[in-house]
Structure 1
């Protein structure tokens, strides 16, 4: 199921026979996320990648693993001091990720793909944008709020959590989201125009982030 192995003198990370990307840019992206993120946030983005890969394996779907890795590992830069700015965190983070990748020699088109995945990850577009984007989003959703009808191997989940513990993620992530709102007042976030129509017909109950985080199939 899970293993650590040596290949050509270099450690290659495996979970459920899945090999993480080991390109220069993948290593640099992970180093950036590690450098600018606290333990809770870094572990979160790494779990998101691995959950996405596990879903791809479960489906038997071929994905662009490097693109998935870059998108997942860099998707929360906007919640760090590295990418502070006036726009909402997913937009700031997407811009920081794209700039970083282009500076490291990644093509503009590929860097834009990462921008798209990150900027759209708080909406419902990625599930309709191709398998790599769809499965990346599924991995993110699973870690934050759960995924409907998801049935990953409990042993694989346990291995991901062993390597990247949650560290009271629900509480800590809610604090990050509240800081995001507190430091950007007024908080500009577009509400879908049809949601506005529905709300004005009959007020829609909107649960707080704590409730959304509690939907995830984890204790913390």
Structure 2
């Protein structure tokens, strides 16, 4: 891996190196390269907006943000974001990270799929989501130069049919716990993936509750 990609220096501290090794060993190449791009797009967004953030924390949050989709969590009852956040918390504790940094990274991972909230929180939380949104949905695509995008794609390439493959990765990581998708964008994934999936409806839960009125 190049140390500098699109003007972003890849963190090379002990914790960053350990995170790289762990995620390379547990994630598919598609998801690992996606996580690297999330870091790069998130960091570039931070530079452009002149935000102050810890690059190593952003790197760890980016690498762990989809950890909850991995096979070891196929029987988990929790939202995949929470599993990923918990994995990052355990990892960071092992590496002696400050509790405040652990909490911030946990929050960044837990909220990375939640629209309308993360962008109003700390730079780490906002930039983790921004990186995810850029790489998955193209949010802010034109705010990056063609050269920046090209350099990132050369260093961390998107696989052929990435759009379809990442939707499949999300679906396979959540299909055993459909109830966790209620009220989130994850419901869209299972709605498209599983013909037997039926969304919960908040109004139905209110009207169907045990309260008499």
**Is the CA contact 1:181–1:187 (under 8 Å) kept in the aligned structure 2?**
no
- Structure 1 segments unaligned to the other structure (5+ residues): 5-12, 193-205, 213-220
Which residue pairs with 2:99 in the alignment?
108
How far off is 1:136 after superposition?
A: 2.2
Inter-partner Cα distance in structure 2 for 1:120 and 1:207: 15
TM-score of the two chains, using structure 1 as the length reference = 0.77
How far off is 1:107 after superposition?
A: 2.4
Which residue pairs with 2:51 in the alignment?
61
TM-score of the two chains, using structure 2 as the length reference = 0.79
Which residue pairs with 2:4 in the alignment?
14
Higher strand share: 1
Which residue pairs with 1:31 in the alignment?
21
Deviations 1:63-82 (A, max 9, x none): 21111111111111001124
Which residue pairs with 1:87 in the alignment?
78
Which residue pairs with 1:196 in the alignment?
none
Q: Look up the SS of the partner of 1:110 in the other structure.
A: helix
Q: Does 1:177 align with 2:167?
A: no
Q: Does 1:139 align with 2:128?
A: no
Which residue pairs with 1:120 in the alignment?
111
Inter-partner Cα distance in structure 1 for 2:40 and 2:140: 18
How far off is 1:148 after superposition?
A: 4.4
RMSD across aligned C-alpha pairs, in angstroms?
Answer: 2.6
Q: Does 1:46 align with 2:36?
A: yes
How far off is 1:150 after superposition?
A: 4.1
Which residue pairs with 1:10 in the alignment?
none
Partner of residue 183 from structure 2, selected from 181, 191, 195: 191
Which residue pairs with 2:67 in the alignment?
77
Following TM superposition, where does structure 1 have runs of at least 4 consecutive aligned residues deviating by more than 6 angstroms?
Answer: none
Higher helix share: 2
Distance change (3 Å), C-alpha of 1:62 and 1:188: closer
How far off is 1:208 after superposition?
A: 4.1
**Is the CA contact 2:11–2:56 (under 8 Å) kept in the aligned structure 1?**
yes
Partner of residue 158 from structure 1, selected from 139, 142, 150: 150
Q: Look up the SS of the partner of 1:188 in the other structure.
A: helix
How far off is 1:166 after superposition?
A: 1.0
Which residue pairs with 2:196 in the alignment?
none
Inter-partner Cα distance in structure 1 for 2:7 and 2:137: 26
- Structure 2 segments unaligned to the other structure (5+ residues): 193-213
How far off is 1:83 after superposition?
A: 4.0
